[in-house]
Structure 1
Amino acid sequence: MYFENRVTSALGISIPILSAPMGWVARAELVAAVSEAGGMGLVPGSLSLEEVRSDIRGVRERTDKPFGINVPLLFAKDPRVIDMVIDEGVRFITTSAGSPATYTPMLKAAGLTVYHVVPSLVAALKAVAAGVDGLIVEGNEGAGFKSPREVSTTVLVPLVASRVNVPVIAAGGIVDGRSLASVLALGAEGVQMGTRMLASRESAVHQNIKAAVVAAAETDTVLINRAVGRPMRVLRTELSNRLENMEDPDVISVLAQVTTLYYGGDLESSLAQLGQVAGRIDEVLSVAEIFERTLTEFRDVVRELAQSARD
């Protein structure tokens, strides 16, 4: 199966599925596997300059398919990452956590396709005004740092899609063919999967984290850090429960131990950033299997809907 729309055309891919650029999770093996499957793997640009460069080159060693990078503008460890992305010849970049006006003109002048991650209609309109080529519209049910003003994917995607003329990629709550079909019906032209890709065989995280995803119920994530206006969705653990009840939790220092969590498997050492959709994941699959099952279910769902809507 392949898709023909503005996302697949602009990015040179056959399946409009992106992997979320999860720091310490989406390393070269996972990114390359997503691109090999026909989607768009994204390298996380939040790590050190040397690690990002190594991941870019590691992906290239594993695939000749298109891949991209995400740069979280407020959290990038080295602002030179933008120059490095251009120098390395990456053709697709998503920006987030900052103003798209900062680097979009320079990136587009260098020939890159630029999408910006947005949590609201206001942010979407500002990004379009800044000249981005497309949007990743992220609902509150997704993992990681979220907007303090909560809006779900099913509300945000059709709202933004109805008000902009650039392609929209939906993020937050996307895990399978049924959820892919639902957001395409809402006006998106692609999806970004995070938690589903974290619980893949190619994901870099410890098996304890993957097992926690499989075991999670839909209620087993929590938004912490709300009081300071920087909520973050994470797996519910004893640590996250303590932080949830603090007026000013020191989340940054806790996140500094995240490699002990992701690579060592100690669930109480830091915060595992997972989306609510963890409650719909019941096994660890390879990326190829995730794509195959997603596309098979998508085709079946669309066919069933078409049959049920006959005159």
Structure 2
Amino acid sequence: MAESFFKTATLPTLQGWQAPGSLDFQAAFLRAGGWALPRTEAFPDAAKLRERLHELKASMREGAKIGLDLRGLRDSADSVMAAAREAGVAFLLHTAELPPSLAMLKHANMPRLVAVQSPEEGAQAKAGGASALLARACDVAALRFLGLPVMAVADTEAEAKQAMADGAIGLQPRTPSLLDASPLAAFRTRLMAGLDSMAQALVRKGACTLPRLRIRNLDLAYPIQQGGMGVGISWEGLAGAVAREGCVGLVSAIGTGYHGSANPTMRLGRPDGSDSLNPPKALEWIIRAARERSEGRGAVGVNILCAIEGYESAVRASIAGGAQMIVSGAGLPLALPGYVGDADVALVPIVSSGRALQVICKQWQRKYNRLPDAVVLEGPESGGHQGFSHDGCLDPAHTLENILPEVIEERDKWGDFPILVAGGVWDHADIQRFLALGADGVQMGTRFIGTFECDASPIFKEVILRAKAEDIGLMKSPVGLPARGVRTSLQRRIEAGTAPQIRCVSNCLSPCGHGKGAAAVGYCIADRLADAMRGDEESGLFFTGSNGAKLRELVSVRDLIEELTQDPGLQRVYV
């Protein structure tokens, strides 16, 4: 039986973190006799996958096994399985609920390890023919009653020991330091013996070279802030997950009437008026839920567009919900401190120039005796609305590298609050480069679309994951500034005059003038963003940054932040 595959004489040690930079932890696990987990792209190139699997096969020692992590796969299951069989992949890892396009995996005639989050999902996996389960250490005891082997995911030695006592047949250590625990000590010796001194340093506590980020009274483990993306792209799921891993997660305040907690007045299938589109109680609920998911780590903030109808109500709802930070752009948030009053919340304006920062600082200091707690400098490569004209977005003088010095110079006149750069930041090398140029941290939006926890619909994610560089560009927006997104059938329908009718039911953004801006460009931005959130590819508007074409994988927030920080297992947070 396939279940017997997972019941081995020695304790299986499943790869629990991904490689930072060029370090190949998958190969290192195989050399040490562990079980490696290469993962597939959402829409993979089977030839490249086959080549990678054969590379890994050459690293195997006795007892080692290659699994294939299919949790991010969204298409091409047949070609992936053919490559896996040819390369001798020993088992598959996937979730209890599979997309319809991947249903054939249940009949793949290979041992299947199914990742579950609860006993209910465990029962679903068993009914679907799972060979074994992968679950949190705390769930092992409950899952063992299903009669399937259970491998435990653990962060600490206490979790690992409890899981083993509860009957776990293997461990997935999520932090390298857990390898020091007695059940894994022998494996650790073999793993470290196969690494050079630099690689060995990466698996020890304190190896991360990125600085911490301090904003007001917030102390963040890593200098990374997830951008607030609306409608419905970053709500409690994404913001809470990012905060839980020691960074800043931002909830988007726009369009919360579409959230499941809201009960808006509807007309023609849309929230009727700005109070229904952006109900304060729904925003409060989302923030509280995000903070609960953060488990007391990182910080949960809110991104509020200055142009939003009901701006003051959104600010007050953010405070009532427990937001630790308010980030505000798409205009100058000159009145923001007045709405906040004495609340202990960090205020972070978004600017695109030193001049804009100067205006904000002068007004805030003169009128409210307050300065920003941090500032986000957003360049013209970001997704969504830009702070430049169409020609300005293309002007080399406006690159982040060129405008950062003037913002640093202006900031230095007022204090030493942090500067976070946004727009086109993609990887660890970009973070290091902008820190070297004088930034204190980064804000990233597009990378977080490609995560399981992102609140967007599966279709939204797939549109971005399928997009090519030539599909992404600037487009006209009802607010009078260009916006960046994926060119889909919506743009072609606008040009052909067959786009959905403009009705301005929700009255979302003041610069649109209650539908006048929408009529000028041929679409209602609130309706089209909501359609994208709902997964309507025909009429949805799909915003993304200029690097959207690089997005190829669906991963967990934790795996993404491991990659961005090059801190395997996020030891700064979990150890």
Give the TM-score band, short-chain normalised: 0.7 to 0.9
Taking the TM superposition and a 5 Å limit, the aligned residue runs for 1:230-269 are 230-241=481-492, 243=494, 248-251=520-523, 253-263=524-534, 265-269=535-539
Q: In the alignment, what sits opposite 2:241?
A: 33
Taking the TM superposition and a 5 Å limit, the aligned residue runs for 1:72-151 are 72-77=305-310, 79-107=312-340, 109-129=342-362, 130=364, 131-147=371-387, 148=389, 149-150=392-393, 151=398
C-alpha displacement of 1:260:
2.5
C-alpha displacement of 1:254:
4.4
Contact 1:8 1:16 in 2 (8 A): no
Distance, in Å, in 1 between the alignment partners of 2:350 and 2:450 is: 22
Q: Deviations over 1:12-59 (max 9, x none)?
A: 211111111112111111111100111010111223223211111211
Contact 1:93 1:114 in 2 (8 A): yes
Q: Deviations over 1:273-308 (max 9, x none)?
A: 11111122221111101101111299xxxxxxxxxx
Query: CA separation of 1:287/1:122 partners in 2, compared to 1, >3 Å: closer, same or farther?
Result: same
Does residue 169 of the first structure (1) align with residue 423 of the second (2)? no
Q: In the alignment, what sits opposite 2:559?
A: 289
Q: In the alignment, what sits opposite 1:204?
A: 455
Gaps of 5+ in 1: 299-311
- 1:140 is matched by which residue type in structure 2? P
Taking the TM superposition and a 5 Å limit, the aligned residue runs for 1:5-16 are 7=214, 10-16=217-223
Does residue 179 of the first structure (1) align with residue 449 of the second (2)? no
Contact 1:136 1:171 in 2 (8 A): yes
Comparing 132-141 with 215-224, greater Cα deviation is found at 215-224
- 1:237 is matched by which residue type in structure 2? T
Contact 1:142 1:276 in 2 (8 A): yes
- Identical-residue share of aligned pairs (%): 26
C-alpha displacement of 1:175:
2.0
Query: CA separation of 1:280/1:7 partners in 2, compared to 1, >3 Å: closer, same or farther?
Result: farther
Contact 1:15 1:39 in 2 (8 A): yes
Structure 1 counterpart SS, 2:240 = helix
Structure 2 counterpart SS, 1:268 = coil
Contact 2:485 2:544 in 1 (8 A): yes
- 1:260 is matched by which residue type in structure 2? D
Comparing 194-203 with 119-128, greater Cα deviation is found at 119-128
Contact 1:196 1:281 in 2 (8 A): yes
Distance, in Å, in 2 between the alignment partners of 1:190 and 1:74 is: 26
- 1:11 is matched by which residue type in structure 2? L
C-alpha displacement of 1:6:
5.4
Distance, in Å, in 2 between the alignment partners of 1:227 and 1:80 is: 23
Distance, in Å, in 2 between the alignment partners of 1:204 and 1:173 is: 21
Q: Deviations over 1:50-108 (max 9, x none)?
A: 32111112112212222111221211545312222223332311111233221224436
Query: CA separation of 1:241/1:104 partners in 2, compared to 1, >3 Å: closer, same or farther?
Result: farther
C-alpha displacement of 1:187:
1.5
Query: CA separation of 1:255/1:101 partners in 2, compared to 1, >3 Å: closer, same or farther?
Result: closer
Q: In the alignment, what sits opposite 1:53?
A: 284
- 1:249 is matched by which residue type in structure 2? V
Gaps of 5+ in 2: 1-207, 257-277, 365-370, 498-518, 569-575
Comparing 172-181 with 91-100, greater Cα deviation is found at 91-100
Structure 1 counterpart SS, 2:243 = helix
Q: In the alignment, what sits opposite 2:401?
A: 154
The structure that has the greater radius of gyration is 2
C-alpha displacement of 1:266:
2.5
Query: CA separation of 1:102/1:140 partners in 2, compared to 1, >3 Å: closer, same or farther?
Result: same
Distance, in Å, in 2 between the alignment partners of 1:133 and 1:174 is: 22
Query: CA separation of 1:284/1:249 partners in 2, compared to 1, >3 Å: closer, same or farther?
Result: same
Comparing 203-212 with 238-247, greater Cα deviation is found at 238-247
Structure 2 counterpart SS, 1:282 = coil
Comparing 175-184 with 26-35, greater Cα deviation is found at 175-184
Counting matched residue pairs gives 296
Q: Deviations over 1:157-177 (max 9, x none)?
A: 233123312321011011211
Q: Deviations over 1:226-259 (max 9, x none)?
A: 79732111111132255579993134x2431323
CA RMSD of aligned residues (A): 2.6
Distance, in Å, in 2 between the alignment partners of 1:36 and 1:227 is: 36
C-alpha displacement of 1:140:
0.8
Q: In the alignment, what sits opposite 1:303?
A: none
Distance, in Å, in 1 between the alignment partners of 2:477 and 2:249 is: 31
- 1:155 is matched by which residue type in structure 2? N
Comparing 154-163 with 200-209, greater Cα deviation is found at 154-163
Distance, in Å, in 1 between the alignment partners of 2:479 and 2:336 is: 27
Contact 2:477 2:521 in 1 (8 A): no
Query: CA separation of 1:267/1:158 partners in 2, compared to 1, >3 Å: closer, same or farther?
Result: farther
Structure 1 counterpart SS, 2:469 = coil
Contact 2:408 2:419 in 1 (8 A): yes
- 2:520 is matched by which residue type in structure 1? D
Distance, in Å, in 2 between the alignment partners of 1:128 and 1:294 is: 32
Structure 1 counterpart SS, 2:554 = coil
TM-score computed with the length of structure 2 as normaliser: 0.48
- 1:22 is matched by which residue type in structure 2? M
Distance, in Å, in 2 between the alignment partners of 1:162 and 1:205 is: 38
C-alpha displacement of 1:262:
2.0
- 1:39 is matched by which residue type in structure 2? C
Query: CA separation of 1:61/1:112 partners in 2, compared to 1, >3 Å: closer, same or farther?
Result: closer
